[in-house]
Amino acid sequence: MRSHDPETMSTTPLESFPPVDAWDDWMEYDAALWPRKVERKYMLVPTTCFNCEAACGLIAYVDKATMQVQRLEGNPHHPGSRGRTCAKGPATINQINDPQRILYPLKRVGPRGSGRFERTTWDEVLDTLARRIRQALLDGRRNEIMYHVGRPGEDGFMLRVLQSWGVDAHNSHTNVCSSAARLGYALWSGADRPSPDHEHAKFILLLSSHLETGHYFNPHAQRIVEGQARGARMCVIDVRLSNTASRADFWLAPWPGTEAMLLLSFVHVILKENLFNRDFLEQWVNWREFLAVKRPGAAPSFDGFLQELRAHYAFATPEAAEAECGVPAATIREVARAVGQAGTGLATHVWRNAASGNLGGWQVARCLQLLVVLTGSVGTRGGTNLNTDNKFVPAPFLKPAPQNVWNELLYPLEYPLAHHELSFLLPHFLLEGRGRLAVYFTRVYNPVWTNPDGLVWERALLDESLIGLHVALTPVWSETAQYADYVLPMGNAAERHDLMSHETHAARWISFRQPVLRVAHERAGNPTDLTWETNPGEVWEEDEFWIELSWRIDPDGALGIRKHYESPYRAGRKITIDEYYRWIFEHSVPGLPEQASRQGLTPLQYMRRFGAFLVEENAYESYLTELPANRLDGSTTGTDGTIDLDGTPIGVMAGGRPCRGFETPSRRLEFYSRTLVDWGWPQDALPGYIESHIHRARLDRDKGEYVLIPTFRLPTLIHTRSANAKWLYELSNCNPVWIHPEDAKRLGVETADLIRVNTRIGHFVNKVWVTEGVRPGVLACSHHLGRWRLFDTGGTDRWASVRVIREETSPGTVRFRRVEGIRPFRSADPDTARIWWTDGGVHQNLTFPVQPDPVSGMHCWHQSVTVARAGPDDHYGDVVVDTSKSMEVYREWLALARPAPGPGGLRRPLWLARVNRPAAETFYVGSAVRTNPLIDGR
């Protein structure tokens, strides 16, 4: 693989890809007219995929005759994806041409949830929203505004908008996704994600399915394949035989929830056989802090620490792990030795998998990272870097001050260490009377379908006393949008601007998403003022929507908002989207102005032309970065090498140099977490094993009790956002329950027979797929499918959803029953008349109660269920929920939490990251919070 070539700006050897100097006028013969050779001329315009979090580069082929997008391919100039895509990238063309997409702003005309909407104007929408938001700000009701995002698809624009309004209003989906793993990582180093250097690894250890669907799927998958081609061996720990596991040297399928124990048994072997990196541990781990507690009064010695370490993990023998996890001790030893012998070349990753399924799942990430630390593979070539070192977020002009208000609907006192907002508990909080919302934006977010306990969401969304105005920003209909007051169409990947960066490998890059037709019109000499003018219908792009809305909230600047939307190039005038990104590219991206100039382009022209920029290659071991001399003024260095300034560690002496270290209180890697001790979890201060809520001991298989793994992804779908891509639904349109042959025999079922799966609050009826690819006693069902709609028209795309009837079969018990499967239908797209699939799969999440982990706040997805053959009254696809039970389960889990305040009266440790971090004073419980921006004198 050729690396980034500064002359050609190519990052791949895709020599057959059209050269960039031909991108304004590229000829191809029309394939549909073959064998006639009919020429078609294209403009090639780069953008960024918006179909998963990986931000791969795409190139749109814009037909110069029709000025329409013909197809999308990978962008070879993108440093992360290097010209490759998965199936979902090119399927963006389906999303552009979806005949069922929302083209105009819609306003509800019937009761909420009635499905009755009419077209309205953007002016009416913007004026209504501006008036309501302005009034809430003036009334001091700042916590009544909330922006709830599913897939962000951008880095920082929206956070800036919310801070410019002075509100603590950002809510995310992260606590149903990754916050457990994030907390586990953050406690070690301050960085909340790993960035494995798969390409150069000697050993790859995955708790994920990276070759098919894992986090940063396509960019990681291609580098794993390259690493394997260079001789790396790979171990996949997954209860399910994923496609990735099938390509691994070792597939370990522990009993669900025991993964941390399995990892600790590797630790045990590595310690016992002296396979660890002594120098790295001694230099970079906060072992002295641990010893001070373990051996108070004794002089700290590293050998003493090793003694304690071995003693602490003495319990995790391979034999003990075999008994607990069900993985043979001999295999454990073999993998542990391979891990230890990888030297500093151990690349690892966990994102969702066991971390997001289990009570205490955050400890899985702590234990996995312990292996990286033991081998000294932190930030090394072939090792596992910190995400913060492989991601680049350039600053925009005029950063707003942090908001001086704290919203307890987002970060309640019960969860002081939660890594992200307690997003999936929002309706429970509202129904408990903890607050209300005047204006609630959902954006690319479908909680009724995606989150557990969707009927509690439905209840809150229907209640206008709890949610005054619900605005759904979405390219497509969803189960949640039907409960909105306004449904506002937003652009797909080829119809909007965004800036993104991700830790796909040992480098830092940015990727520019752009509205390709707007760019094509500009290249053709017909520039437009706003993106919606070249988008289908009146589909807006969000950047321009938020600029316009902010302008109308504060037309005269008295609230201190307007100045953030005034052009940095034209005093007092409203900023244009070109100016917003022009400023960033000119001022905040090192090396870009110079690179652009070498090509005879301005920085903005460069990004419009190439779509991506490599900021730094070979980004390794940034913790060794030397502190600048002025930072050391007045500092002292302790005998252990810690550099202190005014009593706060700011770095560590290493190799005679003052190094930056890690973003932790000790500036070292925190094996011992003082934070967990101080905040009520002393027993979990070290990487350890917490028994899951679905531990084997809690299940009785003779009574038909099983563990349900409901989290796995399919490579071709994207949670709830791919329903507008017909090709993807043609590929994947059912989600049977995986069941082991032993269990199938016990239940008396064969593949395609129906079973009823009972959870704490309801049940669903689905088909089974009998396979040895899952452990006995465990069921697995992909969460992507089972889209439904209540109406014939409107609601989720008809090629992806089944029509259901929602009935209350007894007080508090709601049943969704399908009345019509997926069928062909007539539309502007002739393909819709050719639809051959009928199924659509079965929805599970409605039947899951909320199960918030008391430390990380993560919803623990795995379910303890009972299973039986379907009865005579069960129909395929039935979903039944007892709504009276769901609040009961919520309160049980809530009772596990250990609320703030912590030390010093804090709501949350000051050193831990927080989304859209408010002012420091708000971190203190009971701090006086000023609530009116006019009074605040902003």
Residues making contact with ligand SF4 (CB under 6 A): 49, 51-52, 54-56, 81, 85-86, 88-89, 217-218
Provide the minimum distance between the beta carbon of 698 and ligand SF4 in the complex, in angstroms, as a whole number. 37
The helix (H) or strand (E) run that includes residue 259 is helix 259-272
Residue 895 contacts by C-beta under 8 Å, 6 or more apart in sequence? none
Q: List the one residue out of 233, 193, 272, 286 whose CA is nearest residue 640.
A: 286
Helices (H) and strands (E) in the chain, counts: 27, 34
Question: Which of 217/861 has CB closer to ligand SF4?
Answer: 217
Provide the minimum distance between the beta carbon of 717 and ligand SF4 in the complex, in angstroms, as a whole number. 10
Residue 760 burial by Cβ neighbours in a 10 Å radius (0-12, 13-18, 19+): middle
Contact between residue 220 and residue 201 where contact means Cβ atoms under 8 Å apart: no
Question: Which of 719/817 has CB closer to ligand SF4?
Answer: 719
Provide the minimum distance between the beta carbon of 56 and ligand SF4 in the complex, in angstroms, as a whole number. 3
Provide the minimum distance between the beta carbon of 502 and ligand SF4 in the complex, in angstroms, as a whole number. 9
Question: Which of 250/610 has CB closer to ligand SF4?
Answer: 610
Query: Hey, what are 751's tokens?
Result: 């593949």
Provide the minimum distance between the beta carbon of 94 and ligand SF4 in the complex, in angstroms, as a whole number. 13
Which residue has 């939490």 as its token pair? 897
Provide the minimum distance between the beta carbon of 52 and ligand SF4 in the complex, in angstroms, as a whole number. 3
- Evaluated on CA atoms 437, 439, 445, 446, the torsion sign reads positive
The one-letter code for the residue type at 289 is E
DSSP string for 375-443: TT-BT-TTSEEEGGGS------SSPPPPPS---TTTS-TT-TT-SS--GGGHHHHHHTTS--BSEEEEE
**Which residues is 73 bridged to in the sheet?**
59
Provide the minimum distance between the beta carbon of 505 and ligand SF4 in the complex, in angstroms, as a whole number. 14
Provide the minimum distance between the beta carbon of 54 and ligand SF4 in the complex, in angstroms, as a whole number. 4
Provide the minimum distance between the beta carbon of 391 and ligand SF4 in the complex, in angstroms, as a whole number. 15
Question: Which of 491/658 has CB closer to ligand SF4?
Answer: 491
Query: 872: helix, coil or strand?
Result: coil
Provide the minimum distance between the beta carbon of 444 and ligand SF4 in the complex, in angstroms, as a whole number. 14
Q: Would you tell me how many other CB atoms lie within 10 Å of the CB of residue 105?
A: 23
> How far apart, in whole angstroms, are the C-alpha atoms of residue 103 and residue 582?
29
Q: Distance between terminal CA atoms of the chain?
A: 53
Question: Which of 190/611 has CB closer to ligand SF4?
Answer: 611
The helix (H) or strand (E) run that includes residue 705 is strand 705-709
Distances (CA, A) of 153 to 52, 53, 200: 8, 7, 28
The one-letter code for the residue type at 181 is A
Question: Which of 87/734 has CB closer to ligand SF4?
Answer: 87
Contact between residue 852 and residue 889 where contact means Cβ atoms under 8 Å apart: no
Query: 882: helix, coil or strand?
Result: strand
Question: Which of 149/887 has CB closer to ligand SF4?
Answer: 149
> How far apart, in whole angstroms, are the C-alpha atoms of residue 488 and residue 545?
10
Provide the minimum distance between the beta carbon of 214 and ligand SF4 in the complex, in angstroms, as a whole number. 10
Task: Supply the Cα-derived Rg of the chain in whole angstroms.
Answer: 27
Question: Which of 89/658 has CB closer to ligand SF4?
Answer: 89
The helix (H) or strand (E) run that includes residue 293 is helix 287-294
Provide the minimum distance between the beta carbon of 236 and ligand SF4 in the complex, in angstroms, as a whole number. 19
Question: Which of 52/146 has CB closer to ligand SF4?
Answer: 52
Query: Hey, what are 735's tokens?
Result: 């989600």
DSSP string for 758-814: E-SSEEEEEEEEE-SSB-TTEEE--SS--EEESSSSSSS-TTTEEEEEEEEEETTEE
Question: Which of 86/365 has CB closer to ligand SF4?
Answer: 86
Provide the minimum distance between the beta carbon of 55 and ligand SF4 in the complex, in angstroms, as a whole number. 6
Phi (first) and psi of residue 480, to 5 degrees: -90, -40
**DSSP category for residue 163:** H
Question: Which of 390/883 has CB closer to ligand SF4?
Answer: 390
Question: Which of 75/344 has CB closer to ligand SF4?
Answer: 75
Question: Which of 718/802 has CB closer to ligand SF4?
Answer: 718
Query: 585: helix, coil or strand?
Result: helix
Provide the minimum distance between the beta carbon of 539 and ligand SF4 in the complex, in angstroms, as a whole number. 20
CA 175 and chain centroid, separation: 9
Provide the minimum distance between the beta carbon of 92 and ligand SF4 in the complex, in angstroms, as a whole number. 8
Residue 262 contacts by C-beta under 8 Å, 6 or more apart in sequence? 237, 252, 254, 321, 325, 327, 332
Distances (CA, A) of 472 to 129, 514, 723: 12, 22, 17
Question: Which of 88/170 has CB closer to ligand SF4?
Answer: 88
Provide the minimum distance between the beta carbon of 556 and ligand SF4 in the complex, in angstroms, as a whole number. 42
Across the beta sheet with 642-645, what order do the strands follow? 636-637, 642-645, 648-654, 657-659
Query: 537: helix, coil or strand?
Result: coil
Question: Which of 88/523 has CB closer to ligand SF4?
Answer: 88
Which residue has 């989720």 as its token pair? 796
Which residue has 């997001």 as its token pair? 356
| Beta-strand pair 813-820/879-882 | antiparallel
Provide the minimum distance between the beta carbon of 501 and ligand SF4 in the complex, in angstroms, as a whole number. 13
Question: Which of 713/817 has CB closer to ligand SF4?
Answer: 713
> How far apart, in whole angstroms, are the C-alpha atoms of residue 377 and residue 381?
8
Query: 504: helix, coil or strand?
Result: coil
Question: Which of 211/709 has CB closer to ligand SF4?
Answer: 211
Question: Which of 426/493 has CB closer to ligand SF4?
Answer: 493
The one-letter code for the residue type at 403 is Q
Query: Hey, what are 845's tokens?
Result: 């999440």
Provide the minimum distance between the beta carbon of 213 and ligand SF4 in the complex, in angstroms, as a whole number. 9
